[in-house]
């Protein structure tokens, strides 16, 4: 201290206003800046290693888990198609599935066909159908042959043929016999296929980032957290990859279901004599007859009294008026006759002589 701030004339010349207590503060300040410089130099040296940890540092376990959750939830950068494979932003191959729309290929169409054919011999037709399927490069998915009523043989065969041989196989199956029913359908799955490939690329990129976080984990809780998220991403990758494989297989091979049924001749009906109906005598039931008569009597009596009641109310006043007018007319007529007739004189016979 005395050397840094001398108390003699020389010290008073250079530091006339600096107290001795200030020398301690200045020394501590110099030591602080020197230590900070050393720490920055050490940190810069470790950051030049090119590690992923130089870009992101975590103060505690909570920040690390939050970053892992954000990586698992947020979609990664969109992968690109290079040479028919999907690569991420770091140039690593993440998928070998091609995109049909970006590669200029044909659209993915799933074709299905159904046919019902009437044949003379079911077993021979079934064997020929299988041979034709193999010749076209297809295979049998399933078959069922059984004996129905009357000893006739039936068959249901489902085959798969390459999509470019679908129409040719349908034409070949028509030659097995008489076609009773036929249908064909197609489903365009190109858009779904493209979306699944894009999603798969994002999942692979997320998987790579989570693996990087797994290497950075320093505690057991951080390792378990990253491993849990990584397991979830791997399960999603398996599901999406399985759907992509299914669409590729279904679009590459078309399914045709053929129902074979035998020709069953229609039997000619033979003439049969018509049976003669023998009449049977009905039993006599006087009680039923009497009951029927009583019911009809009751109904006729009700109808009669309803007629009298209805017409008595509606026509009664008019009938009474007409009867009264007729009575007055007849009475007046007889009075008129009585006034106009001459008086009647009675002749008394003369007394006889004997008296």
Average pLDDT, stretch 64-72? 57
Average pLDDT, stretch 204-215? 87
> Is the pLDDT at 39 greater than 70, yes or no?
no
Q: Do the domain assignments include residue 273?
A: no
Q: Do the domain assignments include residue 349?
A: no
- Cβ-based neighbours of 109, under 8 Å, separated by 6 or more: 163, 186, 187, 188, 189, 251
pLDDT at 47: 43
Average pLDDT, stretch 45-65? 45
How many Å apart are CA 48 and CA 129, to the nearest integer?
A: 71
Max mean pLDDT range (32-36, 200-204, 314-318, 320-324): 200-204
The total domain count for the chain is 2
Which range is least confidently modeled, 156-165, 169-178, 253-262, 286-295? 286-295
Question: Tens of pLDDT along 76-115?
Answer: 445 444 333 444 444 444 444 444 444 445 688 888 999 9
Structure tokens given for 330 = 């007849």
262 pLDDT band, cuts 50/70/90, is very high
Write a three-state SS string for the chain.
CCCCCCCCHHHHHHCCCCCCCHHHHHHHHHHHHHHHHHHHHHHHHHHCCCCHHHCCCCCCHHHHHHHHHHHHHCCCCCCEEECCEEECCCCCEEECCCCCCCCCCCCCEEEEEEEEEEECCHHHHHHHHHHHHHHCCCEEEEEEEEECHHHCEEEEEEEEEEHHHHHHHHHHHHCCCEEEEEEEEEEECHHHHHHHHHHHHHHHHHHHHHHHHHHHCCCHHHHHHHHHHHHHHHHHHHHHHHHHHHHHHHHHEEEEEEEEEECCCCCCCCCCCCCCCCCCCCCCCHHHHHHHHHHHHHHHHHHHHHHHHHHHHHHHHHHHHHHHHHHHHHHHHHHHHHHHCCCCCCCCCCCCCCC
Average pLDDT, stretch 24-33? 64
Question: Tens of pLDDT along 282-323?
Answer: 677 787 788 888 888 888 888 888 888 888 888 878 888 888
> Is the pLDDT at 43 greater than 50, yes or no?
no
Q: Do the domain assignments include residue 141?
A: yes
> Is the pLDDT at 65 greater than 50, yes or no?
yes
pLDDT at 117: 94
189 pLDDT band, cuts 50/70/90, is confident
Q: Do the domain assignments include residue 163?
A: yes
Burial class (CB in 10 A: 0-12, 13-18, 19+), 231: exposed
Residues 113 and 43 in one domain: no
Q: Which of 169, 188, 207 is the last residue of a domain?
A: 188
> Is the pLDDT at 224 greater than 80, yes or no?
yes
Residue 142 domain boundaries: 109-188
Q: Do the domain assignments include residue 130?
A: yes
Which range is least confidently modeled, 144-148, 164-168, 184-188, 283-287? 283-287
Q: Do the domain assignments include residue 322?
A: no
pLDDT at 19: 52
269 pLDDT band, cuts 50/70/90, is low
Per the CB < 8 A criterion, the answer to whether 179 and 278 are in contact is no
Q: Which of 166, 188, 210 is the last residue of a domain?
A: 188
For the chain, the farthest-separated pair of C-alpha atoms sits apart, in whole angstroms, at 230
Q: Do the domain assignments include residue 332?
A: no
pLDDT at 81: 44
pLDDT at 33: 65
The length of the chain is 355
Average pLDDT, the chain: 74
50 pLDDT band, cuts 50/70/90, is very low
pLDDT at 351: 62
Q: Which of 157, 188, 219 is the last residue of a domain?
A: 188
348 pLDDT band, cuts 50/70/90, is low
Q: Model pTM?
A: 0.44
pLDDT at 211: 86
How many Å apart are CA 305 and CA 336, to the nearest integer?
A: 42
In percent, the amount of the chain with pLDDT more than 70 equals 61
Q: Which of 304, 101, 124, 263 is nearest to 196 (CA)?
A: 101
Burial call 19-43: b when 16+ CB within 10 Å, e when fewer? eeeebeeeeeeeeeeeeeeeeeeee
CATH code assigned at 176: 3.30.70.260
Burial call 324-337: b when 16+ CB within 10 Å, e when fewer? eeeeeeeeeeeeee
pLDDT at 22: 56
335 pLDDT band, cuts 50/70/90, is confident
Q: Do the domain assignments include residue 250?
A: no
Angle (CA) 228-65-241 rounded to 5° is 35
> Is the pLDDT at 59 greater than 90, yes or no?
no
């Amino acid at each position: 201290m005395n050397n840094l701030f001398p108390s003699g004339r020389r010290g008073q010349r250079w530091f006339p206003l600096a107290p001795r207590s200030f020398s301690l503060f200045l020394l501590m300040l110099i030591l602080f800046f020197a230590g900070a410089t050393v720490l920055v130099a050490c940190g810069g040296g470790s950051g030049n290693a090119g590690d992923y940890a130089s870009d992101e540092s975590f103060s505690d376990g909570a920040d690390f888990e939050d970053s892992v959750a954000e990586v698992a939830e947020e979609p990664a950068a969109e992968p690109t198609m290079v040479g028919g494979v999907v690569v991420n932003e770091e140039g690593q191959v993440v998928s070998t599935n091609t995109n049909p729309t970006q590669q200029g290929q044909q659209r993915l169409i799933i074709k299905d066909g159904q046919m019902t054919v009437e044949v003379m011999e079911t077993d021979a037709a079934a064997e020929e159908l299988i041979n034709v399927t193999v010749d076209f490069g297809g295979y049998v998915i399933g078959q069922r042959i059984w004996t129905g009523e009357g000893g006739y043989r039936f068959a249901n065969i489902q085959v798969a043929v390459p999509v470019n041989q679908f129409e040719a196989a349908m034409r070949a199956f028509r030659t097995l016999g008489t076609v009773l029913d036929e249908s064909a359908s197609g489903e365009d799955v190109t858009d779904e296929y493209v979306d699944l490939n894009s999603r798969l690329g994002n999942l692979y990129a997320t998987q790579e980032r989570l693996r990087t976080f797994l290497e950075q984990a320093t505690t057991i809780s951080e390792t378990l957290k990253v491993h849990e998220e990584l397991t979830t991403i791997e399960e999603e990758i398996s599901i999406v990859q399985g759907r992509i494989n299914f669409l590729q297989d279904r679009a590459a091979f078309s399914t045709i279901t053929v129902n074979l049924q035998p020709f069953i001749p229609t039997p000619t009906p033979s003439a049969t004599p018509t049976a003669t109906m023998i009449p049977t005598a009905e039993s006599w039931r006087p009680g039923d007859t009497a009951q029927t008569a009583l019911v009809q009597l009751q109904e006729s009596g009700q109808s009669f009294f309803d007629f009298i009641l209805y017409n008595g109310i509606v026509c009664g006043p008019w009938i009474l008026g007409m009867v009264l007018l007729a009575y007055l007319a007849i009475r007046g007529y007889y009075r008129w006759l009585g006034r106009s007739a001459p008086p009647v004189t009675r002749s008394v016979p003369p007394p006889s002589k004997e008296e």
